[in-house]
Structure 1
Amino acid sequence: MGAVCSDLLAEVRAFRAQHPQVRYVDLISLDIPGHFYGKRYPVEMLEKVAAGSVLKLPQNCVLLGVQGGMFKIGNYCFNDGDPDARRRLVPSTLKPVSWEAQPLGQMLITSDGTEAPITFEPREVLAQVLARLRDKDIHPVVAFELEFYLFDKQLLNGRPQFPRDPLTGDADDQPNMHIERLSRFSPVLDEMVEAARAQGIDATVITAERGPGQFEINFGHLADGLRAADWAALFCRSTRGVALKHGYRASFMAKPYLQHAGSGMHVHVSLYDAAGNNLLAADQQQALRHAVAGCLELRPHCMPIFAPNQNALRRYGGAVWVNWGFEDRNACVRVPESDPHNLRIEHRLASADANPYLVLAAILCGMEQGLEQQREPIAPLHEGHGSGIDFPLDMFDAVRAMQRQPQLREGLGAEFVDVYCENKRQDHLAFMQEIGGREYRWYL
């Protein structure tokens, strides 16, 4: 513990020396819906925390709904006195913030690794899955890809507007993947990449996607699953900030336009042993098929994680099956072409606004289950395009399917599953408590 404090203290002091103009640092952590919460600390107080002073925040911050309110969930929130819980600083995450009006820093905090971690904190859930895999000599290498939209900064009657082309001033309302779009929006896109790299994120390829004003960013592969999920979470925060600075809104909303492509979170996962052998390539890639089978079997029970809100469910259009295939982007589980050492799966089902810690934890649970059960998957898409497994597209059905799944309760923790499902159920109930204009038009 002393070595950790010493390293953290050195990190804070080096940051202060390099950025003397920074007076405050945001200490941030991701809640269940995927929003950051935390506190803004004077940098001199941060040095005391790094030296070993206790850092506490209310435990129930993790349980906030999408709109920031609290729901009665079991014995939490309104029956527990809203207790504080310890957090710790995440090493190597203290970085400058470039998109705010004043000089600022930010640093991740978490309960994982403390004496009493919060069992339903997303980062802790992933940490427990990774620890269990390490005990089995399974070491994931992970890379995220995130799609997002740019909108005009001003909404029109509460609805997003296409972003204005910086060169012409016209609305970028044409869905295309043209490279010219990258050039036209290069000032904001370049700063998004620079801001991400300033956070320590290995942001690599950026692509113009199919929707108007839609882009995709790829991150480098990491042997640290927690850090890979950190990168995805931090990129969303920095990208929104940079977009506002340039007069746009950036959104990871899953389906902002019904008539255009949705935004997904694609996750590449390969598994290695301690000697560096790719476990998926074992037995002439039979292990790959087992891992795919586990993913497919568990996936319909993970929909509240992969599609955490009503809009995310819209992205599937009511006609998608859980399926898999080689080099097939129509597949929910795609196996990209690669040499045996880099053999991996690409999970393409999750929405861009899903919680990256929980998405990765669910994927790994499915692969783990598949390797242990050693079942054959259903036929891949190239052998039959009717192949697939149905999954719930109603949030209440999805929550019930998740809460009752024994392997998921064991893999992610029963306490987490119960808390998460109730959070999603209450959020959906709150979402339904509004009568929209269409309802009046149809039924008045």
Structure 2
Amino acid sequence: MKSQSSTLLAEVRTFRQNHPDVRYVDLIALDIPGHFYGKRYPVDMLEKVAAGSPLKLPQNAVLLGAQGGLFKIGDYCFHDGDPDANRRLVPGTLKPVSWEAQPLGQMLITSDGTEAPIEFEPREVLAQVLERLQRKGIHPVVAFELEFYLFDKKLSDGLPQFARDPLSDDADDQPNLHIERLSRFAPVLDDMVETAKAQGIDITVITAELGPGQFEINFGHLEDGLRAADWAALFCRSTRGVALKHGYRASFMAKPYLQHPGSGMHVHVSLYDAAGNNLLAAHQQQPLRHAVAGCLELLPHCMPIFSPNHNAFRRLGGTVNAATRACWGFEDRDACVRIPESDPRNLRIEHRLASADANPYLVLAAILVGLEHGLEAAKEPIAPLNDDRNSGADFPLEMLEAVRAMQHQPTLREGLGAEFVDVYCENKRQDHLAFQQEIHAREYRWYL
């Protein structure tokens, strides 16, 4: 602990020397729906925290709904006195914020690694899964890919408008994969990349995607699964901020346009032993098949994680590269679990089902539990799509059904933690019911 405190204190002091104009630092963490919450700390107080002073925030901040409200979940929120819980600073995440009007810093905080971690905190859930895999001699290497849309900064009657082409000032309303779109939107995209790099995020490939104003960003592969999820979370925050600065609105919403492709979160995962051997490639890739089988078996029970809201379920089916059944395939983007072509050293799965607005900590945790289950059960998967285009298993396509499928699944309760599963399912159920408590104009048109 003393060593960590000295490291953190050095990090804070170095930051203050390099950024003397920064007076405040946002201490932030991701809640269950995938939104950042936290506090804005004077930077001199941050030094005290780095030196060992307590850092406490309400435990129930993790339980906030999509709109920030609290739901009654067991004894939490309304019968527990709203207690504080300890958090700690995440080393290496203190970075400048360049998209705000005033100089500012930000730093991740978490309950994992404290004396009493919050069992349902997303980062803690992933930390526990990674720790268990490490004890079994399994070391994941992870890379995220995120799709997002750019819109005009102003909404029209609450609806998104196509981003304006900065060269012609026309709406970028044509779906395409043209490289010229990267050039036309270069100022905002370049700023997004440079800002992400300033946060310590390794950006690799940028793609103009099929939807109008849609792009994809790939991140580098990491041996630290927690840091890989940190990158995905922090990228979403900085990208929204940079877009506003340039007169756009960036959104990771899963399905903003019914007629155009949705935005996904693709996760590449390899598994290695302590000697650096790819576990999936051993024995003529038999472990790869077992891992795929485990992922597919648990996938129908993980849908509240992969599709965390009503809109995310709209993304599934009817458009390009979005599966409606649990399936897999080699070099097949219609599959939930794709096996990209690679040499044995880099053999991996690409999990393609999650929406871009899913919680990256929980998505990765669910994928890893599926891989772990598959390796231990050692079952053969169903036929790949390459052999049978109708291969696949059904999964829930609406939230309440998905919550029922998740809540009592024994492997998930053991792998992710029973307390987390109960809390998460109730949070999603309550969020969905709250969303339904409004009559939309279409209902009046149809039924009045």
Q: Could you tell me how far apart the structure 1 residues matched to 2:201 and 2:394 are?
A: 36
Cα deviation 1:82-105 (Å, max 9, x = unaligned):
000000000000000000000000
Does 2:407 align with 1:364?
no
Matches within 5 A, 1:6-21: 6-21=6-21
Tell me the equivalent position of 1:82: 82
Provide the C-alpha distance between the structure 2 equivalents of 1:343 and 1:317, rounded to a whole number of angstroms: 28
SS across alignment from 2:87: strand
Paired residue for 1:399?
Answer: 403
Give the aligned residue type for 2:378.
Q
Paired amino acid for 1:79: H
> In structure 1, what is the Cα distance between the partners aligned to 2:273 and 2:223?
11
**Residue 65 of structure 2 is aligned to residue 65 of structure 1:** yes
Corresponding residue SS for 1:249: strand
1:423 aligns with 2:427: yes
CA distances 1:173-209 after superposition (whole Å, capped 9, x unpaired): 0000000000000000000000100000001111000
Paired letter, 1:364 = L
* Cα distance, 1:20 vs structure 2: 0.4
In structure 2, what is the equivalent of residue 386 of structure 1? 390
Name structure 2 gaps, 5 residues minimum: none
Match of 1:329 among 324, 333, 347: 333
Partners in 2 of 1:71 and 1:20 — Cα distance? 41
Taking the aligned partners of 2:172 and 2:76, their CA distance within structure 1 comes to 46
Q: CA deviation at 1:106?
A: 0.2
Q: How does 1:155-170 map to 2 (within 5 A)?
A: 155-170=155-170
The one-letter amino acid of 1:329's match is R
1: distance between equivalents of 2:79 and 2:192? 43
Q: Which amino acid in the other structure matches residue 363 of structure 1?
A: I
Matched to 2:433, the amino acid is: L
Q: CA deviation at 1:393?
A: 0.6
The amino acid of 1:20's aligned partner reads P
Structure 2 distance, partners of 1:41, 1:198, is: 20
Deviation sequence 1:253-275 (CA, Å, 0-9, x none): 00000000000000000000000
Q: Which residue of 2 aligns with 1:338?
A: 342
Deviation per CA, 1:32-62: give whole Å up to 9, x if none.
0000000000000000000000000000000
**2:326 match: secondary structure:** coil
| 1:18-57 equivalent positions in 2, closer than 5 A | 18-57=18-57
Aligned match of 1:442: 446
Q: Describe how 1:167-206 pairs up with structure 2 within 5 A.
A: 167-206=167-206
**1:109 aligns to 2:113 (yes or no):** no
SS in 2 for 1:305: helix
Give 2:395's aligned amino acid.
F
The yes-or-no answer on 1:304 pairing with 2:301 is no
Offset from partner CA, 1:126-157 (integer Å, 9 cap, x none): 00000000000000000000000000000001
Count of residues in correspondence between the two structures: 444
Find the counterpart in structure 1 of residue 223 from structure 2.
223
| SS in structure 1 of the partner of residue 313 of structure 2 | helix
The 4+ residue runs of structure 1 with deviation greater than 6 A are none
Question: Which AA in structure 1 matches 2:343?
Answer: D
How many Å separate the matches in 2 of 1:404 and 1:13? Answer: 48
Corresponding position of 1:313: 313
Deviation at 1:320, TM superposition (A): 1.1
Structure 2 counterpart SS, 1:382: coil
Q: CA deviation at 1:404?
A: 1.3
Shift of 1:399: 0.1
Paired amino acid for 1:18: N
Q: How does 1:235-274 map to 2 (within 5 A)?
A: 235-274=235-274
Aligned mates of 1:34, 1:271 — CA distance in 2: 26
Mean Cα deviation higher: 433-442 or 310-319: 310-319
Structure 2 counterpart of 1:133: 133
CA–CA separation in structure 1 for the residues paired with 2:419 and 2:302:
15
| Amino acid in structure 1 at the alignment position of 2:326 | V
Q: Which of 408, 418, 421 is matched with 1:414 structurally?
A: 418
d(CA) in 1 for partners of 2:419, 2:91 = 28
User: How far is the alpha carbon of 1:317 from its aligned partner?
Assistant: 3.2
- The residue type paired with residue 175 of structure 2 is P
TM-score (norm 2): 0.99
Q: Secondary structure at the match of 1:383?
A: coil
* Sequence identity (%): 83
